[in-house]
Chains A and B, each alone.
Chain A
Amino acid sequence: CNPDLLDTAPDNKYTESNFWKTEAAANAALTGIYATLKGDGLYGGEATPLWEEGASPNAFCYSAGTQGFDAIGRGQQSASTGAVISARWKQAYQGIGRANTFLARIGEVGLTQEVQSRMEGEAYFLRAFYYFTLATYYGGAPIILDAPDPDSQKDLPRNSREEVIQQVLTDIDLAAEKLPVKYTGADVGRATKGAALALKARALLYEASPLLNTDNNIEKWQTASIAAKAVIDLAAEAGYALFDNYRNLFLPENENNREVIFDVQFLFPDAGSSFDLINSQYNSNAPLQGLANAYEMKNGLAINDPNAGYDPEKPYENRDPRLYATIVFPGDTFKGKAVTPSTFAQTGYAMKKYSIYDKETPPSDKADLKSGQSETNFIIFRYADVLLMYVEALNESSPGHADILNYINQVRARVDMPNIAAGLGQEAMRETIRKERRVEFAGEALYYNDVRRWKTAESVMNAPIENWKNQILETRKFDAKRDYWWPIPQAELDLNPNLEQNPNY
């Protein structure tokens, strides 16, 4: 009998032996590394980055279907919580594995030096980004730089967090060297030199922050400020600037605008998110009263300032314009209808940022975007963040430096908020910067990490949360000895007993 009769091959998959042959294949493999960003443990799924606010005092996630951020908010996460705690670890390593394979095989394709170098730069950036994600939430993790191989990799223990960050910085430097400053046309959205430098700035700022810089080594702040300044210095060449309209910055028609340094790209119908569904209909990232209260009055005074002119009967009048661009509140108009307290019954509020919906009635074909039908990109690094990172680091390393007021007031000026007055002491300025970050980046999955790295989580997250009527929904708990870090998922411990669990899990 003819033995070839037993040879069959799939017609919808390549095999490792016939894949790495063409530039198109190399491009597809590179695209595959980006695709992991859309995983439900990272920035995709239904609305993982929007729910992350629920782990912070900014928002409340009703229990199920919110990737476990509800449990994290209450300090009830454990190794078997699953959801984002499992998925983030897994998907970060999926991205790392894809980058490792890519870097190991790209040389076989025979690309021009220029193309290969740029593609490698993107892979290094993404690998650094995924490792930084692991270090940010879990701390140390096994460092693996070769293509996936079970025999040599499955039993590796965790490297220290410091070693992971060192690896992140090494990759960033390689990426920054290889990546272009900008792209045009169909390549817009790929990692740029600016993205690499912004990642470096964020990584170093986190390193300098109280959670990790326990003896407040000023040098670390200095390094962080230099890293952020490097992005600002690139602004002219790369075209970075604040986008003029704060609300429109987050609309699909302005995707990849001049403020965006790196974002996760969504597209309808095959590669969308559910941001609109989650924000409006599901309201499972419901903003809390604490966030609403954080917005200053239009005059720049906090609402509890006796001179602010705050009227508890008309709490949403004359506030920081960013409130109206970020939150839907009772008495507001939304999708052409008046908002009543029961429209968004979880807390009275809904998140508007990252949704296309606003006061106007939407066109009928977009009246009710459901699961996977939203296409607004999620911005990971934007120029305003770089400015405030720079300001924050500078206030610690060189308090009183002129750039501090200059840049923080640029951010405020964009929304017509009055300047911060000169002459604040270092501590007062620190508080000012922190408040500014909270309102500027509300709904952007930054505040949870901010309160962790500032080490203020143990106070702000050990507190009751309230709805729009100041009624207490529940009282949250945060165990400073445990909850600053996520647990290593149980499944990973089961499969690799050499992984050490984080303390007190």
Chain B
Amino acid sequence: QERLSVSGTVVSAEDKAPLPGVSISSAEKTLGITDGDGHFSVNIAPQSKLSFRYVGYKYFETTINQATANLTIRLESASTMLEDVVVVGYGTQKKENLTGALSTLNMKEKEGSPTTNLSNALAGMPGMFVQLGQSQPGVDRSQIRIRGMGTLSGNNPLVLVNGIEYSMDELNPDDVETVTVLKDASAAIYGSRAANGVILVTTKKGAGVSQVNYNYYNGIQNPTTMPDVIWDPIQYMRLKNQALANQGTQLPNYSDEEIAEYEAGMKTDPYTYPSNNWFDIALKNGNIQKHNLSFGGSSDNYQYRLSLGYLDRNGIIIGPSDKEKKYSLGFNASLNVSKRLKVGASIDGYYRHYDYPFYGKNFFQYLSRSLPILTDTLADGRYGNSWLRTPGRNNWENPRMIAETGNYRKIVQRFLASVFGEYKLPWDITYNVRFGADKYDGLLSGFTPQVQHFNPKTLVPINWNSPATAPRSNKADDNVLNIHFYNTVDWKKQFEEKHNVALMIGSSYDKFSNNFFDAEMVGYLDETLTALDAGTIRNAISGHLEEDVLISYFGRANYDYKGKYLLEATFRYDGSSRFAKGHRWGFFPSISAGWRIDQESFFQSEVINLMKLRASVGRLGNQAVDLYSYENSIALGQNYSFGGINGLLASGAAANAYADPLTSWETTTTYNAGLDFELLQSKINVTADFYKKRTTGILRTVNLPSQVGGLAGPKRNVGTVDNSGLELVAQYRNKIGEVNYGIQGNVSYNKNKVIDLGGQILYNFETNLSTITKEGLPINAHYLLQSDGFFQNQEEIDNHAFQSNATRPGYIRYKDINGDNIINGEDRVAISESSSIPKYTYGFGFNVAYKGFELKAAFQGIGGIKIYPTANLAYPFNNGAGATTEWLTDAWTPENPNAKLPIVTESTGNKDNFLQSDFWLRSGSYLRLKSLQLAYLVPQAWTSKIKIARLSVFVNAENYLTFSKYKGFDPETIIDANSLYHYPMLKTISGGVNVTF
């Protein structure tokens, strides 16, 4: 039989790069693979089919009729299927036909980086402020704000996983294919939950040839930055005495004899006279490692993917109790039962647990109070305190003791299980139905032994916790079952090959229920048995159930003319149990349009290959009001005992808050105009969006003066807030010789402004931050006294408005704004910068690839935000805490009249310098090298010999560089907070491998 000789090259359709290791087969047999340059050469029978299979690429088949020497086969990436089609609410849309403002993240970009939670991977996306406040194992999740803050209550976006409301952080990030963020009216299809934006997470599906993938990374973690604390005991004691003297306390904390004794003792007895750097003692290197294993594949009739994940993290606190483990299972499969019916099921779940020391919730508060004179352990290993009496330190919180004592473990079992069906009816109608159950079981168990620490000199013990309540055991359980159901009918038709029409209508039912209880027992014989049963005295028990229901009807219509003029309209009609009867239902419509200018016949350009104008307008709602808050409730637990020593607790009840039955939806009207264009064969890619979001009827707790029964105020629809801004995203890709490179960047500007509050001023009493919300200012603007240098002498004090009887030279001088000769609350001034949301967010990065090597860098930053850290270490000598080293050198003295800081005093003993003023306001802006990655794709020619289809190795550095004016701590961690008591931001260096068989 005649054989045809066929040779050629297989390349990636995307970037024309040769693909080595592609397996080639004919109907008869496997013929071989491409070499390192993508070349192949085979002999086949005429008219036979030649097929090409390659991991991550679409299967390709062609019929060969004649011998050929220069055949070029272009394989399309399997994931570009998803790039072409974007997931939108209740469906998908071709990217070129989109009319809304969307951002997408393909998780392929995060390959090899140590992502513990999906929310953390969104940092740097355009139009979003992603803030990681806690890096503690188990709770290291980011807060996400999309296009500013439209409200004063719940600002979290709605997250849906495969169409069902779910937490994006209860999924293995390795199971996620793409994330779509709906930022404008495109979110309106989600109605009353959409005002803060909607995030759609789509999990990975099996694609193409069945394959096995395994990836692994291992990394070391350390704090990005820690405060620079005075750890020299003598320096500490002298400065503390100085601070007391400066504020008029006549007796020093540490006498000259004590200091002399200490100095001498340090040479011989480090247990009694320690010189401890507690950050070194109490913190260690953290470790993170992760394994992922997945199996997947698809054909015309089925698709499946099964994945397993295991994450093991050890935190940076010493001792056994700062860690987490996560075990994930992901499974999804679908099957075409018949030509009309397709069914499928998916389950995504975690079994995970994390630990922290029993008193570990406050660990960083305790650590920020530790002093160099605090003994770590005695020679025999018992926990130490200090023989020196330090006011404010009545029960030394030895950080080692806290880290090693007792334990809390939270065990979470959470899964989202769903089943779905799709039935093709006649006349191009499709019926879709999906049912999902989101089950969360979070059990928190704690046990603490009785702990003592010892005076290192006298060996006198102090009980750290009371024998009356320790040992003790607690258990708290959150049991959540959320049921979600929706069904849609889709109809799609093309008329005369130019009019494309699509319609969708649907309805949904969502029910959320949370059953909670907790219990505590004391009276344990010892520390052997820790069960509740083993205790003898019931200490506290509580529990309740909360339920919440949402019923919705929604629909969408699309029309396009030849893909040139695009039109979309949606509506949603939502009923929520969160409001009183008569105020439950809300209607949320939207409309959007697009114009593909480049498709017009008059548009002829060699340079511009795509140009699209988009515009949208829509209404979105926010129902984030506390459950049952429309009705005045009488809370129990206001108990009091009668009957003396043998008396009983009598059940007491009282209203604690005033409710407003008229409370209803917040409504956001959003306008967006956007322009997309691509230049030079798509080498340059630019998207610009302008938006304005006006939220009316914002829900806000209206604080009441205490004279109204000391009640918390009601949530009311009180006003109007605008967010307006612009987003710009640009990308450039090119190659020079064998070097492929790209740069990309985005910048977003958001202006937040309160338009109308009915003339009211809302003061923030929920936190200790001194902020107000007032017409014309951003939400939660700082509201502070204005500092005006330091008093240099008594005469200046006498001539200035009265501050307090404590004022001395070296103290901060405040401006008497209202000129009444007294400095008080009337002299506060609002500062037009928010305490909680930045004006600018930006990200940029580059990638360079040469042969198998690729270097990627991503920077991320924010600007236009102020932070106000207070207390331990932000202030000196706060209630028995220490101070940072700048107080040694940069504080006011008569010889240093132009110092950076006022004269050193205790911050608790003397409030005068620590009144809330702009003196302590700090810029929270920062820029950080979020990640730097070097990857190497081992040549197929080598790996194919050991039956490995693809092998890459990675080295990764996360958060290794941070630029910020604020030096005390990592600024991202403490935005919207008022202390430094946070698990610090971590930097990670890691290495990993990704293998596909």
Contact = CB atoms under 8 A, between A and B. Distances in A.
Interface of A: 1, 3, 5-17, 19, 24-25, 27-38, 62-65, 70-71, 74-76, 78-81, 89-91, 93-98, 100-101, 141-142, 144, 147-150, 153-154, 156, 185-190, 252-253, 255-256, 265-271, 281-284, 342, 345-346, 364-370, 373, 375, 377, 464, 467, 471-475, 477, 479, 490-496, 499, 501, 504-505
Interface string B515-527: 0000000100000
Interface in B803-840: 804-806, 822, 824-825
Interface stretch (B271-279, B542-550, B609-617): B542-550
Given A185-B643, A265-B641, A505-B822, A373 B466 contact: yes
Contacts of A284: 394
B706 A14 contact: no
A283 B644 CA distance: 27
Contacts of A74: 805-806
A9 B628 contact: yes
B650 interface: yes
For A17, A38, A97, A266, which residue has the most chain B Cβ atoms within 10 angstroms? A97
Contacts of A368: 462-463, 466-468
B763 A495 contact: yes
Contact of B911 (A34, A76, A189): A76
B706 A492 contact: yes
B249 A474 contact: yes
A265 B647 contact: yes
A367 B467 contact: yes
Nearest to A346: B391
A365 B467 contact: yes
Nearest to B394: A282
Interface string B629-662: 0011111101111111101111111110010000
A475 B249 CA distance: 8
Given A345-B389, A492-B706, 8 more contacts: A6-B551, A31-B639, A36-B638, A63-B908, A64-B908, A141-B707, A267-B641, A268-B468
15 contacts: A15-B634, A36-B710, A37-B640, A38-B640, A76-B805, A78-B804, A93-B709, A148-B709, A153-B707, A154-B708, A188-B647, A269-B540, A342-B389, A490-B824, A491-B763
Contacts of A501: 824
A494 B825 contact: yes
Contacts of A377: 644
A494 B658 CA distance: 19
Contacts of B713: 150
Contact of A149 (B631, B708, B763, B908): B708
B953 interface: no
Query: Nearest 8 pairs between A and B by C-beta?
Result: A97-B709, A94-B710, A148-B709, A345-B389, A31-B652, A32-B654, A64-B879, A12-B544
Contact of A62 (B392, B466, B537): B392
Contacts of B320: none
Contact of A365 (B468, B643, B703, B878): B468
Nearest to A477: B805
A34 B649 CA distance: 12
Contacts of A93: 706-710
Contact of A15 (B394, B631, B651): B631
Per DSSP, are chain B's interface residues mostly helix, strand or loop, or mixed?
loop
A424 B330 CA distance: 93
Interface of B: 248-251, 389, 391-392, 394-395, 462-463, 465-469, 507, 509, 522, 537, 539-540, 543-549, 551, 575-577, 584, 627-628, 631-636, 638-645, 647-655, 658, 702-711, 713-714, 761, 763, 765, 804-806, 822, 824-825, 878-880, 906, 908-912, 915-916
Nearest to A144: B707
Nearest to A13: B633
B636 to A, nearest CB: 7
B635 A495 contact: no
B415 to A, nearest CB: 25
Contacts of A97: 708-711
A285 to B, nearest CB: 12
A31 B648 CA distance: 12
B543 to A, nearest CB: 8
Given A94-B710, A367-B467, A475-B248, A148 B658 contact: yes
Contacts of A63: 391-392, 879, 906, 908-909
B642 A187 contact: yes
Contacts of A24: 651
A12 B636 CA distance: 8
A203 B171 CA distance: 65
Contacts of A5: 509, 549, 551
Contacts of B249: 473-474
A498 to B, nearest CB: 9
B592 to A, nearest CB: 28
Nearest to A19: B634
A267 B649 contact: yes
A29 to B, nearest CB: 6
Contact of B643 (A9, A141, A187, A467): A187
Nearest to A489: B706
B642 A186 contact: yes
A35 B627 contact: no
A36 B392 CA distance: 28
Given A63-B909, A370-B466, A490-B825, A11 B708 contact: no
A487 to B, nearest CB: 8
A58 B645 CA distance: 29
Nearest to A267: B641
A491 B913 CA distance: 21
Contacts of B651: 24, 27-28, 31
Contact of A94 (B248, B507, B709, B825): B709
Contacts of B545: 11-12
B700 to A, nearest CB: 14
A441 B47 CA distance: 111
A346 B390 CA distance: 9
A16 B632 contact: yes
A268 B465 CA distance: 16
A388 to B, nearest CB: 25
Contacts of B547: 8
A78 B827 CA distance: 13
A148 B540 contact: no
B819 to A, nearest CB: 16
B546 A10 contact: yes
Contact of A375 (B632, B645, B655): B645
